[in-house]
Amino acid sequence: MGTENLLEDLVNHVVSSTLHVVMIDPKTLMPKCAGSGCFIIYKERPFFISVQHVTDKEGLQAVIDKGTGNETGTDVFPVLL
């Protein structure tokens, strides 16, 4: 496999694994800020990667917006940081 194919595969993986991250108030479950992150698998272990300025908000909880929901809200999945 050539370097060009490897780079293209890497870019495709990052794009397909990028997730919308929302920082919520754990008491009210209301969103406070948002960003993005992605899952990677390294040495057979999954990791969630995001930038610090998105997830370092004191007192807030990181959740992944699953992109599904209904009139009462959006489905989210908590991320343990």
pTM over 0.85: no
- pLDDT, averaged per 10 consecutive residues of the chain (81 residues), comes to 80 81 89 86 87 85 80 73 50
Reported as type and span, the H/E element at residue 5 is helix 3-17
The domain segmentation of the chain, as residue ranges, is 3-78
Return the structure tokens found at 3. Answer: 């370097």
Under 8 Å between Cβ of 21 and 62: yes
How far apart (Å, rounded) are the C-alpha atoms in residues 62 and 65?
10
